Structure 1
Amino acid sequence: MIVFRYLARELLVTVAAVSAVLLVIIMSGRFIKYLAQAAQGLLDPGVLLMIMGFRLPGFLQLILPLGLFLGILLAYGRLYLDSEMTVFSATGISPRRLLAYTLAPAALVAAMVGWLSLGLTPQGIAEVERILNQQDSLTEFDTLIPGRFQTLRGGTRVTYTRELSEDRSELGGIFISETNLSQSGKNRGVSVLVAENGRQEIQPDGSRYLILENGYRYDGSPGQADYRAIEYETYGVLLPKPEVSGEASEREAAATRELFGNRDIRYQSELQWRLSLPLLVFIVTLLAVPLARVNPRQGRFLKLLPAIFLYMAYLALLIAARGALDKGRIPAALGLWWVHGLFAVIGLSLVYWESLLLWFKRRRALREVMNGQA
């Protein structure tokens, strides 16, 4: 039990450290994407942290299996390098017993991944979709940021205001540029509005207008001298809604209980994917334990790169099989299980590789002896 606790502690500490680093890297990239949308006025900056919090389970369910895989390689690689594994082997701890010890913390990680993939991740995706749908109800006025040019309508409209009151009811120093497109998508010129002041006005039908005061409107085409200038005291501009598209499909946000019994092949694919992630943990453990064995003279990083390629091949084949299952190219009964079976066989082959080589050598020696007696 002392050896088991020591190995489990070393492994879990390394897994936590590796997973934390991977999580920071992935979440930073995604946060930059959301931050860019907020800067364009497509998202309310106040919901960014909520979105990242709800997306966290989805990140973790993919990071933890990789963190466990790398954690085993790094933790056990250090033990081999320091000859601690040699001491354990001398005390009767065989590679198969080491694998059994490793499966216990792996089961803990698998339980966490299962909780995330079957429960928290669908709930988080549903909440993110709800937040993004709420953003669709906001107008350009609600997402306006003073001192910044904001692009809407696919880049055809640019809005700027120098000042904005705290209650977002009054504006100052307004600039609006909009490209006029025909139904065929042909550019029909540019309209530019400038005004000293502006305010928001809500009509009985729910539509919102920006009422501009004391300004000018310019209409024309770039490169031509036939611009038209109009001075006005009051001018109304319809406020468009930001276009915020959801990131997930309905099946990804569906509760796991809704997937059971659903004959739709896409929902069956989603269910198999969620069940595959906890199973992935055990199989990568089966792969990582024999791959972590290194010669102290070679260094602990010798097998790290080939091991990572093996993991990437496993995950890529799993994703490809999921895509084929979505399109009906693979029977639902076969689904994603054949990928797990293939890499389980590879893992078992790595675990019993030395035993298999010894068995073949004994058979060869026995055959030579029998041939010599004959």
Structure 2
Amino acid sequence: MESLERYIFRQAAVAFVGGLFVLTLVVWITQVLRQLDLVTNSGQTIALFFLMTSLGIPVLVTLIAPISLFMAIVQTLNKLNGDSELIVMAAAGVSPVRLMRPFVMLTVLVSVMVGVLALYLTPSSIRYFRQLLTQVQANLLTAIVRPGQFTQADRGLTFHIRDRAPGGVLLGIVVSDSRDPALQMTYVAERGVISEQPQGTFFVLERGNLQRREVKDGSTSIVVFDRYAFDLSQLTQAAETIYRPSERYTYELINPDPADPMLERWQGRFRQELHDRFSAPLYPLALMCIAFAMLGHARTTRQSRGAAIAAAIVAMALVRGIGFAVSGMAATRAWAVPFVYAVPLSGIVIFGAMALGWFRPRVPAAISRAVSDFSDRIAQRFTERFASGGQA
């Protein structure tokens, strides 16, 4: 790689990494805020909370990386032209192929990263998230320990917890057990903990009393205890985890188990997920070709690049939007599968040919002038607004 190519590659790579980090952080924070009830309502630790929310980062990066690459290439090309570097390169005889080479190298790296994420890391992280979520939902601390609420864990069995202390200690415990129609049992304790033992799961109550009432004759007896183990084993059945297509490993989608009861129910989604994963690495290449086709040629300072940037954004949105639409069709129609690959490949071929100068569609002069004038007016309005704000 020559010094010129290293210079361009470095600028584009820095812009890509910065944009990817910022966009991923913003989206991840929104996911964190949505999952706050995992800590506030379920009694889970902060470490588990951040682990579960961080497992969604590979999914975010897979979706955001192509967009970040597109933005980085647009920014780099616009900066090179704004500093008249593209004009100098063109005057020095730098061919479009040579100018495009560092962007292609960066795009190949991003495509490999997206492919690894889509095929391996993303399904593994989502699958692990599902396992943790199932454990949380099956955990008794989630099911019955909600401070200030009466929670029915089973028919005739109700729990009430006044508060929760550090270390899993529960305070102000009331348990009403009327599962036996002939007997009413009420447990009251100052504190307690849930203990997992080889013999089963027990709610260990401390410093309390047991009120036993016979329903038939109404007789009541009270037993005071320092420590009492309430058996919860019947309530702690292992939860069955059903993995969705997005949570299956790639080899499970390629060769699904015929005995899988979910295969018939989700056959279309299995197909959609599989081809989405294999087509994901094609989109960075398609978006790179779009950005370079629209902005990779030198323009003088009198030639507005606003229209070119707007056209690049529109083309990118169309290609990605059509890709999402075709992916949805593949879930219900098997004949739509080839189009899942045809959309990004068409973008690569058409805009790649435009980027290399093999052909350039002729836009009517009136439309080109109108778009350029509109972009210039918007840019001028923003410039005037910022200038007036600075003077104020």
Q: Could you say whether these structures have the same fold, taking a TM-score greater than 0.5 normalized by the shorter chain as the test?
A: yes
Three-state SS of the structure 1 residue aligned to 2:139 is: coil
The Cα shift of 1:268 comes to 2.8
* Residue identity matched to 1:307: A
The Cα shift of 1:287 comes to 0.5
Three-state SS of the structure 2 residue aligned to 1:14 is: helix
1:105-127: CA deviation from partner (whole Å, max 9, x where unpaired): 11111111111111111111121
Matched, 1:317 2:310: no
> 1:113 — aligned with what?
114
Matched, 1:347 2:351: yes
Provide closer, same or farther for how the CA distance between residues 267 and 172 of structure 1 changes in structure 2, counting only shifts above 3 A. Answer: closer
The Cα shift of 1:277 comes to 1.3
Residue ranges of structure 2 left out of the alignment (5+ in a row): 153-157, 176-185, 212-221, 259-266, 363-392
The Cα shift of 1:160 comes to 5.3
Following superposition of structure 1 onto structure 2, how do residues 1-374 of structure 1 map, counting pairs within 5 Å? 1-41=2-42, 43-140=44-141, 144=145, 161-162=162-163, 164=165, 166=167, 168=168, 170-173=169-172, 197-200=190-193, 206=200, 213=208, 249-261=243-255, 264-293=267-296, 296=301, 303-327=308-332, 329-331=333-335, 333-348=337-352, 350-351=354-355, 355-356=359-360
The Cα shift of 1:345 comes to 5.0
* Residue identity matched to 1:259: L
Q: Which has the higher contact order (CA 8 A, sep 6+)?
A: 1
Three-state SS of the structure 1 residue aligned to 2:141 is: coil
Aligned residues: 323
1:221-244: CA deviation from partner (whole Å, max 9, x where unpaired): xxxxxxxxxxx9889898988xx9
TM-score by length of 2: 0.66
The Cα shift of 1:348 comes to 3.9
Provide closer, same or farther for how the CA distance between residues 163 and 11 of structure 1 changes in structure 2, counting only shifts above 3 A. Answer: closer
Question: In 2, Cα distance between the equivalents of 1:159 and 1:37?
Answer: 20
The Cα shift of 1:60 comes to 1.3
Provide closer, same or farther for how the CA distance between residues 304 and 171 of structure 1 changes in structure 2, counting only shifts above 3 A. Answer: same
Provide closer, same or farther for how the CA distance between residues 2 and 143 of structure 1 changes in structure 2, counting only shifts above 3 A. Answer: farther
The Cα shift of 1:272 comes to 1.1
Question: In 1, Cα distance between the equivalents of 2:324 and 2:361?
Answer: 34
Fraction of identical pairs, as percent:
22
Residue ranges of structure 1 left out of the alignment (5+ in a row): 177-192, 217-231, 359-374
Question: In 2, Cα distance between the equivalents of 1:357 and 1:200?
Answer: 73
1:126-152: CA deviation from partner (whole Å, max 9, x where unpaired): 21112112213311379958xx66797
The Cα shift of 1:91 comes to 1.3
- Check conservation: 2:289, 2:348, Cα contact below 8 A: yes
* Residue identity matched to 1:267: F
Three-state SS of the structure 1 residue aligned to 2:280 is: helix
Three-state SS of the structure 1 residue aligned to 2:338 is: coil
Three-state SS of the structure 2 residue aligned to 1:92 is: coil
Provide closer, same or farther for how the CA distance between residues 99 and 150 of structure 1 changes in structure 2, counting only shifts above 3 A. Answer: farther
Farther-moved stretch of structure 1 (35-44 vs 260-269): 260-269
- Check conservation: 1:40, 1:150, Cα contact below 8 A: no
1:283-339: CA deviation from partner (whole Å, max 9, x where unpaired): 111001123356545777665455334333322322222221112x24155240232
TM-score by length of 1: 0.69
